[in-house]
Amino acid sequence: MIVKELTTKLLENVLDEIKTPENMNKIQNELLNPLITYTYKKIYPYLFLTIIIFLLTFILALLILIILIKKILR
């Protein structure tokens, strides 16, 4: 029981300290922004390639649809 109460109070104090505006700004500027920037730089080529493949597939599907419609109308 004592250990549970101690850890609960400790966790509450740590969370309260983290929630202060000064610490939130530090966390955002020193941890989150660089992490997001790094992740975006690493994932960008794959995201770009996925979008290109999706667009090419969509264009191919439209071309097939147009060809099938022309065949049906003849």
User: Do the domain assignments include residue 48?
Assistant: yes
**How far is it, in rounded angstroms, from Cα 37 to Cα 73?**
53
Number of domains in the chain: 1
The neighbour count for residue 10, using CB atoms within 10 Å, is 10
- Tens of pLDDT along the chain (74 residues) come to 789 999 999 999 999 999 999 999 999 999 999 999 999 999 999 999 999 999 999 999 999 999 999 999 98
Amino acid at 54: F
Tell me the chain's radius of gyration from C-alpha atoms.
27
Residue 9 falls inside a structural domain = no
Q: Which domain holds residue 51?
A: 21-73
As given in the structure block, the two tokens for residue 29 are: 């500027």
pTM of the model: 0.62
- H helices present in 1-74, as ranges: 2-18, 21-27, 33-73
